[in-house]
Structure 1
Amino acid sequence: MQNSLEIGGTPTIHKDRSPPSWKVFLILFIVLVGFLFISTFALAIWFGMEQNKSNENDICLTRICVEAANNLLKSIDETIDPCENFYQFTCGAWLKNRKIPVEDTSETTFKVVKTQLTNNIIDVLSSSTSTSIDESHAIINARRLYASCIDEEAIEMENVNVLLSFINTQLGGWAMLQGSKWNSSTFNILNQLLKLFEYKHSVIFNVDTVVDDQNSSANVIRIGQSDLILGIRSIYERESPITIAYRQCIHDIVLALTNDTSMINDDINAIFELEQRIAKYHWTIAEQMAHVDESIRTTLGNLSHTLDVNFDFVSFLRHAYGLANVSLMDEDIVFINEIDFIRNVSSIINHYSPRTLQNYLVWRFVVNRIDQMPKRFQMIKQNFLKVFTGSKSQQSRTIECATFVNTNMDFAVAKLYIQKYFDENARNQSMEMIVNIRNTFIDIVQQSSWMDPISKSKAIEKVHAMIEEIGYPDYLGNDNLTRLETDYAEYNFNSSLMSNDLIILRLNMKKNVQMLREPVDPRKWAVAPTIIDATYTPEYNRITFAAGVLQMPAYHKDAPKYLNYGGIGTIIGHEVTHGFDDFGRKFDKDGNRIPWWTDETIKKFNERKQCIIDQYDQYTVTLAGTKLKMNGSQTQGENIADIGGLKEAFFAYQNWVRQMGTEENKLPGLQKYTPEQLFFINFGYMWCSKVTDELTLSYILQDVHSLSQFRVLGPTSNFDEFDRVFGCKPGQGNSRVNKCSVW
């Protein structure tokens, strides 16, 4: 029987074997190594679990963070290098997957916000409770106006009776509807323009009341060119699908109003030729900006001598302001814009027959009433808009009516909206951001190498004096309805939409005319709270942020600061910078347009401005196979504000982080991106946009803002901190070697 080491047995002893103590040591060693391995493995598992817990703690998982992350993840195209094209990086997937709705001309990241805002307005105008607000005169009439607008059956039953009655009794009829029966002997162009002015229509010449830019405590009269239906003169210079569709629109509208077609074609050709002649002298936006310092300031007593035209502007102004019981004096200030247009057009209208002039003036009134007319007229307009703007279908009637009421009774609508939907935290947090961004702008001014001490000091004074308005006027936030009731005391509507529209037009004229004798209130809102907008008003040195813009992707009270600063923060910075762009810089801290910079500082400013103009001149887009260049001069004010606003918001965010002593949690699914990178990503995402070719062309020719992609590419390519954050090298597609910057 062979002896072996068995549990419980006794080992056989041989002289040539290892001593028993070595064997025990070997067994213990093996056991110890196994224990250490198991312990290490368990420790690694535990450490990994703890690390995952730590990583989870670094991620923001609130509803707002998850929603924001989802939107950004669906927008970013990670196949694009952010250093090559940051707009395509932030918006590439969004652009690929979004389509322009058939009833619209664009699709933007703000569209969801706008839709929700409009739906909220529809809600508050459609429903009512038994509160004192709902029983107020202003609110009752806002809802009555909305009800008359959505009642399409009543609009069809009324047909065009109210409109035709107005044309016949107030405008002397319409020659195109009456054919050879129209009597030209009663026509007087001054009287016709006065009647249109009474209903807030400034045709050919524009007349309104504005703040005196040299004395911001008073109002003055301003005259200049009116608008063109097709927007700009270049469209009138050659035959195109737009001009053909426009004449067809006139033809179809007139044909829907009369059976007398004996002179319709000749009449349409004549009024189109008149409009072409007027357009020939019409100033473009770029020309207006280039000659802004050439506007003329005179008095009513000297106006005839200053203009030296046949049209009696003095008599027109006296009668126009008399419509609202405002008597003019010879000493009243009159501000003249586009004086060459006024002189040339005053001359040419004398060469046209009363019939052509009357046809054109009445047409300009009728075309603006189409949305209040029966459906068949709206469809004619839509056929024209399909060619003119690319819109393939109408908006729903409820959306159109909510917009109509919000435009004309904005503060009554806002009262209902803020009571039900607006979060007061938005005002408080936005104010904190404004303070931080204004302080950052002051730091930028102090550190500037091109401003002299005197100009720096006055610039800083202007920043400190800047008025900020957030959300809505203060009086809408309390239970006192006195101000609201006073503002809308004369708004008394019925079930007829056309009648209500005429009431609004006359009241709007009266308000503007009576401003001439009213004291200037720098805090009087001129922006509807329930729209998505922000403005800078140089005459008041005031920045205004409507309640509608304080929503994602620009802002949310629970969003990380890097998103809010990359969103509404850049908008705040943009508006602050407007006080120091090529136009805003000409107004002092009190809103007076007087020189307050030294000549040397102005010279250096212009050098920096020119760099930006040259940069944006090089941007191009291709429409229908044609490459079109941007107009850097036309957009330079907005470009300066875009570039400055991005910098101010970013530096303000960095200051906030330093004050807090820690960075915020990242977004789920986007952990690879730092908070600073997410600041820029949300900035880019905010400007994702698709626009029809027709509207894009209109923007290029008429808008003072750059196209959306250049509002992202321009500012980021000029910012050293963007290069640092994304590791870009100057010379890459999204990083300029010679960066342009004013602020």
Structure 2
Amino acid sequence: TKINAVKDVKSLQALLTEMEPEGGLGFMGAGVGVDAKDSNRHVVSVGPGSLGLPDRDYYVSDDADSKEKREKYVLHVAKMLKFLGYKDKEAGEQAKKILELETAMAQPRLDRVERRDRRKSYNPMTVAELQKLMPSFDWNKYFTGIGFKKVDTVIVTQPKYMTALDGLLKQNKVDDWKAYMRWTLLNKSTGLLSTDIETANWDFYSKTLRGALKEESRDKNALQTINGTVGEALGKLYVEKKFPAEAKAKAESMIKNEMLAYENRINKLPWMAKSTRENAVKKLNKLSIKIGYPDKWKDYSALTLQSPEEGGTFFSNMKNVSRWSYKEDLEKLDKPVDKTEWGMAPQIVNAYFNPSYNEIVFPAGILQPPFYDYKADEAVNYGGIGAVIGHEISHGFDDSGSRYNAEGNLINWWSDEDLEKFTGLGGALADQYSQLEPLPGIKVDGKFTLGENIGDLGGVNAAYDGLKLHLKEKGNPGLIDGYTPEQRFFISWATIWRTKARDEAIKNQVKTDPHSPGMYRAYVPLQNVDAFYEAFNIKKGDGMYIAPEKRVKIW
């Protein structure tokens, strides 16, 4: 009803203002985040709204896969609109209009490689300058309406997009806006409505786009919902039962060895000058490490969740979560950044590097088999979780993370000469990965995956050196199952990353995921590591051999 009532830009702005605390209705959005150039303060940023396809490339590329997925997307949108009461013909027409408008909003966006460069999305402007950039909106009124009382400066992540959006709004195609908003609202709510709607959504986003064969079980979906909403409440219970103190202590010792190994490696880099080396070591030594779970648990007392008996529904509860989360962000605006906060619940099987906090985080969930078993052989552990630790440390020094200094600010600490050398080495690694062709005509994008590939290469080197320090200190256990510690280390690495993926999943991954496909992560970084050749006596003529001068060595 509210969407139907929109008749011009003014009423559109009023509706987008009202819906922002619930995740918006597309076009554009605003939020609170850490200032990239002053990591102790919060800032408001404004950027593009959501689109129905996972990446800009799906809208603008002429490759066969993108064209095919666009056609299937139109059919999917039409099918979904019928749940709103549209008849076949009208649903098909609306779906085409939606694709047309979304394509016009996709075109001016940064592409996936540009989005990895934070400098390109850091564009501070006064509200007056933003008003000039996109005059169709009353920005002071918008910011006040969504709860930002005193906003002087904002970060505009994509100015070119805002200019293009202004042009689209001036065309005044109100019916097209409404169609797009109806679709955006339905699309973000598919998991909260009926089973039929949820299945129809799965049919396109999981089956068509990623080649999935069957839907996840309801209990898995329920767990994902809890992890993404009140994750720390469950995490508190998880660590009490599943994370012994000994596991944390051993992980800490492993990290200590790898930090030392990384410092040794930086100090021996042949291509880096003294001043840059000192800055790199300073950044490494200032790295904050979080293991297992937060010291201070998140407080959910202000969040209202109601049972069916109390009149609550899944939809209404998720709406409450959005509003609660939005209010939490609003309250951060005038406060200094709390760097003790975690960005991931303890039970999640993952790890991350946060450039603004200059921190690496390892939730308890990843500190278990197959990545880690505190009772197992350390060579296997170093090849598993050890390489993940090294990988996250390396993110502070990849092509993107290396732009942030020791304090977590987007400030250059490199000499011009060293930056040029580093960029050249990164280019060589990107070229190596860009030659990989997982499917005929489908190639890995070496520039898009460069940060993760530097992470993998730096990670395996740091973990290997960390293992060497461990063996020197604790003694070498020798052969186990006929393999040396070095061999067990590399076998463990490959075991962690080996992956089988269906064709559609790979086609989707190379467009949307900054990680290289798992089957390449399992062995390509190792081809650049001399110790791998020594461990397995790999010689010229062997399938995995790369000539020494072509092996890329960065960190």
TM-score, structure 1 normalization: 0.70
1:258 aligns with 2:85: yes
Of structures 1 and 2, the larger Rg is shown by: 1
Query: 1:357 matched to which residue of 2?
Result: 177
CA positional deviation for 1:187: 7.3
CA–CA distance in structure 1, aligned partners of residues 75 and 145 of structure 2? 36
- Given residue 160 of structure 2, which amino acid in structure 1 is its aligned partner? D
Q: Is the 8 A contact 2:394 2:458 kept in 1?
A: yes
CA–CA distance in structure 1, aligned partners of residues 175 and 121 of structure 2? 36
Query: 1:531 matched to which residue of 2?
Result: 348
Q: Is the 8 A contact 2:284 2:406 kept in 1?
A: yes
1:501 match: secondary structure:
helix
- Given residue 355 of structure 1, which amino acid in structure 2 is its aligned partner? D
CA–CA distance in structure 2, aligned partners of residues 368 and 253 of structure 1? 12
Identical-residue share of aligned pairs (%): 27
Query: 1:612 matched to which residue of 2?
Result: 429
Query: 1:459 matched to which residue of 2?
Result: 280
Equivalent of 2:327 in 490, 510, 514 = 510
Structure 2 matches for 1:173-188, cutoff 5 A?
173=3, 175=4, 184=7, 188=11
1:691 aligns with 2:480: no
Query: 1:677 matched to which residue of 2?
Result: 487
Equivalent of 1:489 in 295, 302, 308 = 302
CA–CA distance in structure 2, aligned partners of residues 598 and 221 of structure 1? 32
Query: 2:145 matched to which residue of 1?
Result: 319
Q: Is the 8 A contact 2:500 2:519 kept in 1?
A: no
Q: Is the 8 A contact 1:609 1:741 kept in 2?
A: no
1:686 match: secondary structure:
helix
Equivalent of 2:447 in 623, 633, 640 = 633
CA–CA distance in structure 1, aligned partners of residues 337 and 477 of structure 2? 45
1:367 aligns with 2:193: no
Structure 1 stretch displaced more, 217-226 or 542-551: 217-226
Q: Is the 8 A contact 2:22 2:323 kept in 1?
A: yes
CA positional deviation for 1:609: 1.4
Q: Is the 8 A contact 1:571 1:645 kept in 2?
A: yes
Change (3 A) 1:728 1:220: same
Structure 2 matches for 1:30-429, cutoff 5 A?
168=1, 172-173=2-3, 175=4, 184=7, 188-201=11-24, 203-237=26-60, 240-258=67-85, 263-289=90-116, 292-293=119-120, 295-305=122-132, 307-320=133-146, 322=147, 326-330=148-152, 333-385=153-205, 386-429=207-250
Q: Is the 8 A contact 2:6 2:178 kept in 1?
A: no
Structure 1 stretch displaced more, 569-578 or 696-705: 696-705
1:727 aligns with 2:537: yes
CA–CA distance in structure 2, aligned partners of residues 636 and 615 of structure 1? 10
2:526 match: secondary structure:
helix
CA positional deviation for 1:226: 2.9
Q: Is the 8 A contact 1:284 1:702 kept in 2?
A: no
CA positional deviation for 1:274: 1.2
Q: Is the 8 A contact 2:52 2:187 kept in 1?
A: no
1:527 match: secondary structure:
coil
Q: Is the 8 A contact 2:115 2:121 kept in 1?
A: no
CA–CA distance in structure 2, aligned partners of residues 644 and 259 of structure 1? 54
TM-score, structure 2 normalization: 0.92
Equivalent of 1:706 in 516, 527, 532 = 516
Q: Is the 8 A contact 1:688 1:709 kept in 2?
A: yes
1:108-145 deviations in whole A, cap 9, x for unaligned?
Answer: xxxxxxxxxxxxxxxxxxxxxxxxxxxxxxxxxxxxxx
CA–CA distance in structure 2, aligned partners of residues 581 and 183 of structure 1? 46
Change (3 A) 1:308 1:384: closer
CA positional deviation for 1:507: 1.3
1:618-640 deviations in whole A, cap 9, x for unaligned?
Answer: 11121xxx322221111111111
CA–CA distance in structure 1, aligned partners of residues 157 and 222 of structure 2? 34
Structure 1 stretch displaced more, 245-254 or 390-399: 245-254
Which segments of 5 or more consecutive residues in structure 1 lack a partner in the other structure? Answer: 1-167, 176-181, 477-483
Q: Is the 8 A contact 2:351 2:361 kept in 1?
A: yes
2:375 match: secondary structure:
coil
- Given residue 77 of structure 2, which amino acid in structure 1 is its aligned partner? I
Q: Is the 8 A contact 1:687 1:712 kept in 2?
A: yes
- Given residue 217 of structure 1, which amino acid in structure 2 is its aligned partner? N
CA positional deviation for 1:265: 3.8
Q: Which has the higher contact order (CA 8 A, sep 6+)?
A: 1
CA positional deviation for 1:249: 2.9
Structure 1 stretch displaced more, 598-607 or 553-562: 598-607
2:356 match: secondary structure:
coil
Change (3 A) 1:242 1:412: same
1:356-385 deviations in whole A, cap 9, x for unaligned?
Answer: 212211321111111111212122223323
1:554 aligns with 2:371: yes
CA–CA distance in structure 2, aligned partners of residues 224 and 350 of structure 1? 19
- Given residue 470 of structure 1, which amino acid in structure 2 is its aligned partner? I
1:448-507 deviations in whole A, cap 9, x for unaligned?
Answer: 11111111112111111110001110235xxxxxxx4x3333233232111111111211
CA–CA distance in structure 1, aligned partners of residues 59 and 210 of structure 2? 16
CA positional deviation for 1:293: 4.1
- Quote the RMSD (CA, aligned, Å): 2.2
CA–CA distance in structure 2, aligned partners of residues 604 and 270 of structure 1? 48
CA–CA distance in structure 1, aligned partners of residues 251 and 8 of structure 2? 61
Which segments of 5 or more consecutive residues in structure 2 lack a partner in the other structure? Answer: none
Change (3 A) 1:629 1:183: closer
CA positional deviation for 1:201: 2.7
Change (3 A) 1:262 1:582: closer
Q: Is the 8 A contact 2:267 2:277 kept in 1?
A: yes
Change (3 A) 1:497 1:735: same
Query: 1:740 matched to which residue of 2?
Result: 552
Q: Is the 8 A contact 1:534 1:543 kept in 2?
A: yes
Q: Is the 8 A contact 1:220 1:334 kept in 2?
A: yes
Structure 1 stretch displaced more, 639-648 or 514-523: 514-523
Q: Is the 8 A contact 1:560 1:664 kept in 2?
A: no
The total of aligned residue pairs comes to: 544
Change (3 A) 1:308 1:682: same
- Given residue 428 of structure 2, which amino acid in structure 1 is its aligned partner? C
Change (3 A) 1:603 1:527: same
Q: Is the 8 A contact 1:232 1:282 kept in 2?
A: no
